[in-house]
Amino acid sequence: MSINEFVKANYVDRRHTDSVKWDALLDLYGDENLLSLWVADMDFKAPQAALDAMQDYLKMGALGYRVLPSRYYQAYQTWMEDHFTLHVEEDWIRFSPGVVAGIHYILAAFTKKDDPILLQTPIYAHFFDLIEESGRPLVEVPLLYRPGQGYQCDFENFEAKIIEAGVKVYLHCSPHNPIGRVWTEAEQARLFEICHRHGVLIISDEIHQDFTFDDHIQIPALKVEQGKYQNQIFTLNSTSKTFNMAGLSHAHLVIPDPKLRAQYDQYWIERAGHPNINSLAAIGTQVAYEQGKTWLDQVKAVIYHNYLYIKDKFKENLPMIAIDPLEGTYLLYINIEPLLGSDSVQAFCQEKAKIAVNYGVTFRGGTDTYIRVNLATRPENIEDFVQRMIALSSGSFERVNE
């Protein structure tokens, strides 16, 4: 199926469907007519096989208690084996209503107030709220930016901050949101070895694991150096990004180490048991893993097409703006400082370009003039975004404000 055929068959106009991405624009940005390129979900239908399986369950009509079949675990384990050559035992797997919720549970079970948590910034904005609202001190290690290469780890500062602050947990993100890096095994091994020497637990958010491009390979944290650091790692992933199922509120939390697993389970025993798994989420997740690979390949082709379009058009028309390589995620992080003039990023985007994007200030790391653009939409929307940027650079405001 060509890109155009896939988009025609799967693109959804999500306005007036209570979509956060499109129907919250008035509340969040003050203008319901902006071109929406912000929050990280897609404008495409989930895989049809998964939708059919959930619809069949609803048509059956009896929505009582449901066991989680062995087929569910097999589907997840097979996906991890086939895509990442990672073996996951069934008893390593726990569940949460989402990756952020899972991180909250781990921090609650393994840390106490005043235990410092380390992040490499810029990073997913909700991590800051999660840590700060839990009463844990936040330790930021800014990533190093190298033009043409993108962001790199500052290993010396990483270790210095761990020692200085007495860090208890490192919150890892790979592929890294919002910068689109897929950390290599060597980079991760160096980070994890530092954590190992200083007794730091590692939480690895791998929710974007299935979106890698241009021969970049996702190496799960649990696989680094043949699983050398598994006894200090928690990994989280989900179909929410992979198959556009965020509304099902379901994620996997993988804990290989039996001592960590026992402590995590004890945390839930003291709170009346683990969270229940929504039946629709379980059915949709299982079938997506079983039958969703072709759909994923097709949607990745659309995403990378959109990336290349921005890269080529900016190089041709806006050479002052660097477009870094997209290694992973479906999010593009762009420094638009050369276009701003005296405008703030927010004023430029919302009042002039008429776009809704995520702002770099929320991701920190000294990236206040950056925007994060969601590529998981139809090419026409990306072309519209590019033309607005070009028009503004040349002073052709009429075209933007038609």
pLDDT tens-digit readout, 340-391: 999 999 999 999 999 999 999 999 999 999 999 999 999 999 999 999 999 9
Residue 139: CATH number of its domain: 3.40.640.10
Q: Would you give the DSSP letter of residue 396? A: -
Q: What's the pTM? A: 0.96
The DSSP secondary structure of 220-249, one letter per residue, reads: -GGGTTTTTTGGGEEEEE-HHHHTT-GGG-
H runs (alpha helix) in 216-363? 239-242, 258-269, 279-291, 293-317, 337-340, 345-347
Pair 243, 386 in one domain: no
Pair 17, 108 in one domain: no
Pair 392, 309 in one domain: yes
* Full domain range(s) for residue 98: 50-291
What is the predicted pLDDT for the residue at 276? 81
Pair 163, 24 in one domain: no
Q: How many domains does the chain have?
A: 2
* Domain stop point among 241, 269, 291: 291
Pair 144, 203 in one domain: yes
What is the predicted pLDDT for the residue at 168? 99
Mean pLDDT per 10-residue run, the chain (402 residues)?
97 98 98 98 99 99 96 99 99 97 97 98 98 97 90 98 99 98 99 99 99 98 99 99 98 99 96 86 99 99 99 98 97 98 97 99 98 99 99 67 44
Pair 69, 195 in one domain: yes
How many residues can be counted in the chain? 402
Pair 104, 35 in one domain: no
The rounded distance, in Å, linking the Cα atoms of 132 and 107 is 12
Pair 325, 244 in one domain: no
What is the predicted pLDDT for the residue at 398? 46
Per the DSSP assignment, residues forming a β-bridge with 11 are 44
Tokens matching residue 90 = 């069934």
Instruction: For residue 150, give the 3-state DSSP assignment.
Output: strand
Pair 312, 369 in one domain: yes
β-pairing, 251-254 vs 331-335, is: unpaired
* In contact, 200 and 165? CB cutoff 8 Å: no
Pair 190, 333 in one domain: no
